[in-house]
Amino acid sequence: MAVNTNNAYGKISISDLSIAKVASHTAMESYGIVEMVSRRFTDSLSLLTKKKDGGGRGIKVTTTGNRIYIDVYVVIKYGVSIVAVAESLKEAIKYKVEAFTGMIVATVNVNVIGVKL
């Protein structure tokens, strides 16, 4: 799927993968995030067979109309406040994706899969 909009100059279409790359890059820049992880074991297996990561690892983007729903799967650093890191990550991803797309991010769900030293 993709997010679509029209203006006086024509149609704009932004793919879910592009949105996932922005969200993934934002997450890796955030304090307390160690790595992005795949949602399912089968996703990990498919990454092993590919030569290059698509850039949206650990991100699931769903679009409906001009609304964007994002699920993030992360491993965080041991010793940081999970709630503080998750809230900061949600706000950062929402801000960056909305600035990138010009569309509304309805939800950002942060799923903490693990903790690393």
Structural domains in the chain, sorted by start? 2-6+17-116 (3.30.70.1350)
Q: Across residues 67-88, what is the average pLDDT? A: 95
Q: In this structure, what token pair is assigned to residue 11?
A: 């149609």
Residue 53, pLDDT > 80, answer: no
CA 22 to the chain's CA centroid: 7
Q: In this structure, what token pair is assigned to residue 17?
A: 């993968």
Residues in the chain, total? 117
Asked if 26 and 93 touch (Cβ cutoff 8 Å), the reply is yes
Q: What is the pLDDT of residue 56?
A: 73
Rounded Cα–Cα distance for residues 87 and 81 (Å) = 10
What tens digit of pLDDT does each residue of 81-104 get? 999 999 999 999 999 999 998 889
pTM of the predicted protein model: 0.83
Which of 21, 103, 116 lies closest to 75 in space, CA to CA? 116
Residue 65, pLDDT > 50, answer: yes
